[in-house]
Amino acid sequence: MTIRENNPVPENPLGIDGIEFIEYATLEPLALGNILERMGFVQTARHRSREVVLYRQGPMNVIINADPDALVRSDAEPHTTVLSAIALRVRDAGAAYRHAIDMGAWAIQTRAGAMELNIPGVHGAGDSILYFVDRYQDFSIYDVDFKPTPGAPLNPPAIAGMHFFGLVQAIRRGRANEWIDFYQQLLGFCVLPEGRSFGIMPRGTLLQSPCRKFYMQLVEPPESAVDMDWDEELIRIGFGTPDVVAATRALKERGVIFVDRAPAQPNEKGALTQLYRGGVSFELVQSQLGQTS
């Protein structure tokens, strides 16, 4: 569209600066923890009052939230595990929250208990939440609400330089432009020109975060799928690595199984894991982003 092409250089009104954590809500925390450990994550801390666990790997934080309230779904689908939140690093969490609300985001109900951090957030795709976190430099949000896991390393290293590359979101057919404008007007994302793609899953629309540190990929249902079975929700994390082949090899040794048939055959550009319990899968994407963050 001409109008979009004429847009000035995208701004970063919320001061977004990468992803602080990605959260899963699940009824099966042990099974999911096991999958994350196979992917190279280490459990480093546990929430003081809730069934919430922090896993780390290099620059990445992944939270498993097994709090019974966390997996409230608006429909009756039998999902046992969902990608339930993205926490964005921002300059000023309060200001980012107010800006997002002003631009048309839905506020979430606060869930913090006494003496717990109240992390501001708004509703994202499906039943997911976008949190805004501004304490990620001098001290972290985990210092307040989490207790370290005894004996666990504080900063477990990343396998093959793995880092957050982005998230894949399912959208209904013909809704790419609506979601592009959602992420663009609310958060300052910009859409990448058609033909630019990463990894081995080129289908869909790619949006770049205003900090240029991660991506959102919008994926419409395949031609064969019935629209009714295709919810608009986050479906997969993409991990970047400068060396996909090395990462794939190391993860295979840890027991991770990769899809090995067209069109998702692993190569130096990317790889896709099998679908694990609860519908969880991960994508590897050739990326140098980790070296700048």
Partner 1 sequence: MNLGNFGMDTITLAGPLEAKLRASKALGFSQIMLWAKDLAAYPDGLDSAVKLVRASGLRVTGLQVMRDYEGLSGPLHDYKIDIAKSMLRLCKAVGAPLLMVCSTTSKHASGDPAHVARDLAKLATLAVPLGIRIGYEALSWGLHVNEYPASWEVVEMADHSNLGVVIDSFHILANDTPLDSISDIPGNKIALVQLSDYMWRDIHSPQERLETARHLRVFPGEGTHSHELSDLLRRIDRCGYRGDYSFEVFNDDYLQMPPEVVAARAHQAAKWVTDQVLRRSLQARERPREDMAASIAL
Give the footprint of partner 1 on this chain (CB under 8 A): 3, 102-106, 123-126, 172, 175, 177-182, 185-186, 232
Q: How far is the CB of 62 from partner 1 (least distance, A)?
A: 23
Give the nearer residue to partner 1 in terms of CB position, either 49 or 177: 177
Question: Which residue in the block uniquely carries the two structure tokens 């498993």?
Answer: 64
Give the nearer residue to partner 1 in terms of CB position, either 108 or 246: 108
Give the nearer residue to partner 1 in terms of CB position, either 123 or 135: 123
Q: Tell me the residue type at 142.
A: Y
- Helix (H) or strand (E) run with residue 60 in it: strand 60-65
- Among 196, 225, 187, smallest CA distance to 285 is for 196
Structure tokens at 262: 């067209």
Pairing of β 19-26 and β 129-133: unpaired
DSSP state of 279: G
Q: How far is the CB of 191 from partner 1 (least distance, A)?
A: 11
Question: Which residue in the block uniquely carries the two structure tokens 């939270």?
Answer: 63
Give the nearer residue to partner 1 in terms of CB position, either 105 or 272: 105
Contact 142, 54 (CB under 8 A): yes
Q: How far is the CB of 213 from partner 1 (least distance, A)?
A: 23
Q: How far is the CB of 212 from partner 1 (least distance, A)?
A: 22
Give the nearer residue to partner 1 in terms of CB position, either 126 or 166: 126
Q: How far is the CB of 175 from partner 1 (least distance, A)?
A: 7
Helices 93-103 and 176-187, axial angle in degrees (round to 10): 140
Cα–Cα dist 173/282, whole Å: 23
